[in-house]
Amino acid sequence: MRLFFLMFVAVYGVMHLVTLWGLMPLLRKFPLLPFVTGLWMLLMIGAPLLVRSSENAGHETLARVLAFAGFGWMGVVFIAFSFFTLVAAWELLLRFMRLFQPQLANLSLHGVAGATGVLILVVLATAYGLYEARDLRVERVRIETPRLPAGAPPLRVVQVSDIHLGLPNREGLLLPVIEQIQALQPDLLVATGDIVDAQLDHLNGLSLLWHRVDAPLGKYAVTGNHEYYAGLDQALEFLQRSGFELLRNRSVELDGRLKLVGVDDPGRGREPDERAALGERSELFTLLLKHRPEVAEASAPLFDLQLSGHSHGGQIFPFGLLTGLRYPYQNGLNLLVDGNFIYTSRGTGTWGPPLRILSPPEVTLIELIPVKS
C-alpha cells in the first residue's frame, strides 16, 4: 500500500512537471502566476493522500471537498499531460531537425500560442469526459454453449464492476446503474470487485438501493484491490448489507445449471488459491469471477467464462494503450486457447477523475444460450 502511494506520487508529480513546462510560456505573461500555479500543483499532488487521511480521521466534509477538487484536477492534468507530451516530443524532433534545417525554428509549439491552444483542447476534452463518464452503456454478449441443460431458457447474467462508491461517487452514480440493472431483468447479478472505495460510514443509505434489484439466482460479489484500500472488513460488511453473497475462494452451484466460482483479489499480497477454488472440472457451465483480467494457466481449462474488470479500459485515452500492455484482455470478450472465454468490463463507475474518454462506463448483460452439442 505504501509503495503504491509512493509510486503514484512520483508518476503524478512528473505529470505536473510536464504540464507546468507546457504552460510556462503563458504563465510568465502574468506576475506571480507561475509561483501560484506551482503551489497549487504541489497541493493537488498531495490531495489524494489528504483525502484518505481526512476520511480516516473522520473529517468527511473536508475529505469530500478535497476529493471534488483533487480528483477533478487529476482529470485535467491527465489530459493536459497527454497533449503536452506530444508537444515535448515535437520539440525534441524539431531540435534534431534544426541541425540540418535551422529555418525550422518558427515551427515550435512551445510558446504562448501553443499553450493557449492546448488549454482550449483540455477544456473541450474535459467537458466531453464529464459527459462520457455518465453515458452508461449496456454491453450485450451472447455465448452459445452445450454445457447448459438442453431446452432450458437462456441464462441472463448481469455484471457490474469498478463502481468505486465513495466520497465523489454516490447516489447520483448508483441510481442510474440500479435502474439499468432492473430494466435488464437478470437471473443472476455479479459484481467483479472495486464496488467500494470508502469507509462504511460514508456510504450511508447506498446499500439499500441494491435491494431494489431482484435476481432469482442471487447476487454475488468478489473483492477488488480497492476493497482493501477502503478497509476490507467494512467493505465486506457493506456488500453483505447490499444483499450480495461473497465468494471468497469458493464456489456455489445454482439451480443445477451453473457453477459459480469467485476468488479474492490478491490485495496486499494475499494470493488466492484459484485452482483449489475451481476444484475439478464440472459438468456444469462454470463461471469464474475474478477482479483482475489475468488468466492463470492452471485454471484456464477449468472454467467456461471468466468475468473481470479492474483496467477500466484505460478510462481516459490514451492511457488505455498503457493498461493494454499490462492487461492484454483489458476490454470486451476474448476467446482463449482452450475454447473458453474471458470478458473484461470497462467498469461501471470511475476511479479518481470523474471523467472517461473513449472508454464509456458499462453494465454488461451476458446471455448464456443452451445449444445441442
Which grid cell sits at 192? 467483479
Residues 90 and 110: their CA atoms lie apart, in Å, by: 9
Strand pairing partners for 190? 159, 220
Pairing of strands 341-344, 332-335: antiparallel
Give Cβ neighbours of residue 113 (< 8 Å, ≥ 6 apart). Answer: none
Provide the angle, in degrees to the nearest 10, between the axes of the packed helices 60-98 and 112-133.
140
Residue 123, beta-bridge partner list: none
Predicted confidence at residue 355, as pLDDT, reads 96
Buried b (16+ CB within 10 A) or exposed e, 279-308: eeebebbbbbbbbbbbbeeebbebbbbbbb
Predicted local distance difference test score (pLDDT) of residue 230: 76
Specify the pLDDT at position 329. Answer: 93
Q: How far apart are CA 337 and CA 343, in angstroms?
A: 14
The DSSP element (H or E) to which 160 belongs, if any, is strand 155-160
Left (φ > 0), alpha (ψ -120 to 50) or beta: where does 10 sit?
Answer: alpha
Cα torsion for 191, 193, 198, 202, to the nearest 10°? 10
The one-digit pLDDT tens for each residue of the chain (373 residues) are 567 778 888 999 999 999 999 999 999 999 899 999 999 999 999 888 888 888 777 777 888 888 889 999 999 999 999 999 999 999 999 888 877 777 766 788 899 999 999 999 999 999 999 999 999 999 999 999 999 988 889 999 999 999 999 877 788 899 999 999 999 999 999 999 999 987 766 677 889 999 999 999 999 999 999 898 878 888 999 999 999 999 999 999 998 899 999 999 997 667 888 899 998 888 899 999 999 999 998 899 999 999 999 999 999 999 988 888 889 998 999 999 889 999 999 999 999 899 999 999 999 999 999 998 7
Location of each CATH 3.60.21.10 domain in the chain:
138-370
Q: What's the count of helices (H) and strands (E) in the chain, helices before strands?
A: 10, 12
CA distance 326 to 255: 37
Residues 230-266 as b/e (b if ≥16 CB within 10 A, e otherwise) read bbbebbbebbeebbbebbebebeebeebbbbbbbbbe
pLDDT score recorded for residue 271:
80
Helix (H, G, I), strand (E, B) or coil at 14: helix
Question: Residues for the chain: how many in total?
Answer: 373
Cell of 106: 518558427
Handedness of CA 198, 200, 205, 206 (dihedral sign): positive
Helix (H) or strand (E) holding 189: strand 188-192
CB neighbours of 330 closer than 8 A, spacing ≥ 6?
A: 293, 311, 313, 314, 320, 323, 324, 344
Which residues have CB under 8 Å from 308's CB, separation 6+?
A: 161, 192, 290, 291, 292, 293, 294, 329, 342, 343, 344, 345
Cα separation, 72 vs 68, in Å, equals 6
Q: 145 CB contacts (<8 Å, ≥6 apart)?
A: 285, 304, 368, 369, 370, 371
Task: Classify 138-370 by CATH class.
Answer: alpha beta
